[in-house]
Structure 1
């Protein structure tokens, strides 16, 4: 989640810069995040739905959180059994806080990279099982980021891609090879899960 998003969170009363892990080995533990303009966590009910969707795919997976922000998605994935999580965050103070949270949890396999999503995707070096895309709504980053993921070969066969976007704008057109699996709405935000399947893959959906 990027610093400039316009979203509502539901942090604990009296702790405006905290959110809680809702499942897995760190369930109930708090994530701290800095007082940066517009940085708010994905609400609990959306994360609960998303990770219910992904519950069978998460154990042992390699995940990429391209707009990490508070770390709600990447750290939740690590809590629920992801083997590796790469979190991309452009704001230095937010990236530093992500590293502090990971260290406090004793997280193994969590890597925080202080750069932009666009810069990171310019140099394909590996592939991922699950990718989280929750960019700032105001900057129309979802469509070009999806194209960069596909064109750069970042997705493993059968990979899952989570998308979050303004409900009134509608979901961007998915690049060839990505197929919509699930879609829901929560207030002004909509969210969806798509699956990567190349022409030679034979990947059954759930």
Structure 2
């Protein structure tokens, strides 16, 4: 894993082997940021990274000067790793929370320009993420929700769905208010 853009471009991430994660591949991440580059200006936006794991995407957004990156994961080891990486590289805009994502979303009142969710692929509640984000109005008017999931899973039945991009066994589904 590496940071592919921004001021930390090229930085290799070497998280501990024992973290309970399935990181987004560099290929998929590069494709995602190429898509985003044509849709939004990352500099200055407010990002919510759900199921943040190693913080691979949180670090990428911060490297590209997102104003605020809120990272939520239920693994305390993941939260500590990301917190340490953010501190080590002076990324003060990253705030980490050790929490169950669904409970966090039910209590969240902030509005975000971009919400990224990379849940475990075997999680049966993935469609609930989209439902909760839109019911609770957690996206700004021009905001984007992106959910990473197995390609065989279909999330297109939500009215806010705009497109799905496939990268092998992984897909990104995009939603807009």
State the TM-score, normalizing by the size of structure 2: 0.92
Q: Distance in 2 between matches of 1:38 and 1:99?
A: 16
Q: Which residue number in structure 2 is paired with residue 15 of structure 1?
A: none
Cα drift, residue 170 of structure 1: 2.3
Aligned pairs for 1:127-146 within 5 A: 127-146=111-130
Q: How far 1:135 moved relative to its partner?
A: 0.5
Query: Which residue of structure 2 lines up, in the alignment, with residue 45 of structure 1?
Result: 27
Deviation of the 1:58 alpha carbon: 0.9
Residue 187 of structure 1 is matched in structure 2 by: 168
* Aligned match for 1:171, one of 135, 144, 155: 155
Q: Note if 1:24 corresponds to 2:6.
A: yes
> Contact 2:155/2:161 (CA < 8 Å) preserved in 1?
no
Q: 1:119 to 1:32 in 2, by over 3 A?
A: farther
Give the whole-Å Cα distance in 1 for the aligned partners of 2:70 and 2:59.
10
Determine the C-alpha separation between the residues in 2 that align with 1:86 and 1:107. Answer: 12
Mapped partners of 1:83, 1:110: distance in 2: 9
Once the 2 structures are TM-superposed, how far is the Cα of residue 32 of structure 1 from its aligned partner? 3.2
Q: Does 1:63 align with 2:47?
A: yes
Shift of 1:106: 0.5
CA distance in 2, matches of 1:89, 1:119: 11
- Offset, 1:173: 2.4
- Correspondence for 1:79: 63
Moved more, 164-173 or 107-116: 164-173
Q: TM-score, normalised by structure 1?
A: 0.79
Task: State the 1:38 CA deviation.
Answer: 4.8
Aligned-pair RMSD on alpha carbons? 1.5
Query: Which residues of structure 2 form unaligned runs of 5+?
Result: none
Structure 1 CA distance for aligned equivalents of residues 108 and 118 of structure 2:
20
